[in-house]
Amino acid sequence: MNAFLLGILSSLVTSALLLGLSLLRASRPLWWLTAACSWFTGTGLRRVYRRQASAEHHMSRDLARAQWVKVMAGRGNILTREAFAPLWSGDISPASVQILLPDPDTPHDSWIDRRSQDVARFDPGFTANLLRSQVRANIDYLTQAAHTRCGIRLRSYNLPHTCRVIATDKVAYLTFYSDDAHGRNSPCLYARAPGLLYTIALQQFDTAWANSTEAPITQHP
């Protein structure tokens, strides 16, 4: 009888463990666990997306609620995709939009070239001047978009390409670039204000903004 009961108990324990593991593999329970740990540590971290691209759906929702937006990107392709489309169409109207992109006109052997060299190591289609041309194309896109929107400021920077920051008055999406993966395939941290990670994201942006130059984009009063 004891052996029979032990067998039943072991089966129940095994089932419970398997259920728990299966739940933890789902995104939402992991987010709840992350948020709980964040509350104890004060980091403000609420979610971790395995790939930066997976965050775009929630990013669009946060942009719709934003009073202001700050973006620092290593290329700027996100600015031309669906997450930001309502901003350029005027469906959402934050008071200010500050954008930082790498300076595509810096001399050779600058930070934009160093990032290009990093990417070329794992992406054979990435030529020496491809990143410069992609940044120029995104600047052209933003220049056109600014004709229909007020409060947009674009600046260019020549600083290490270490992370991407997309921040509002309430949240921040922070992606640290690696030497062996595109930014879109890198993990993305989602932090809420107040919190340590949110503060770090704004510090990253504000430091780069203070060391940037105004880009040729149409300005509005």
* Domain boundaries defined on the chain: 42-214
Amino acid at 111: W
CA neighbor of 211 nearest in space, from 168, 166, 162, 155: 155
Q: What is the DSSP letter of 158?
A: -
Q: Give the model's confidence band at 30: pLDDT under 50 very low, under 70 low, under 90 confident, else very high.
A: low
Per-residue pLDDT of 81-122, as tens digits, reads 999 999 998 888 899 999 999 999 998 888 999 898 888 888
Residue 72: its H or E element: strand 68-72
Would you place residue 42 in the very low, low, confident or very high pLDDT band (cuts 50, 70, 90)?
Answer: low
User: Quick one: DSSP state of residue 107?
Assistant: P
At 21 the pLDDT is 39
Q: How far is 218 from 143, CA to CA, in rounded Å?
A: 6
User: Domain 42-214 is classified in which CATH homologous superfamily?
Assistant: Endonuclease Chain A (3.30.870.10)
Confidence (pTM) = 0.80
- Copy the structure tokens of residue 126: 């990435």
How many CB atoms sit inside 10 A of residue 182's CB? 18
Question: Taking Cα atoms as reference points, which of 204, 193, 136, 135 lies closest to residue 164?
Answer: 204
The label of the residue with tokens 């600046």 reads 155
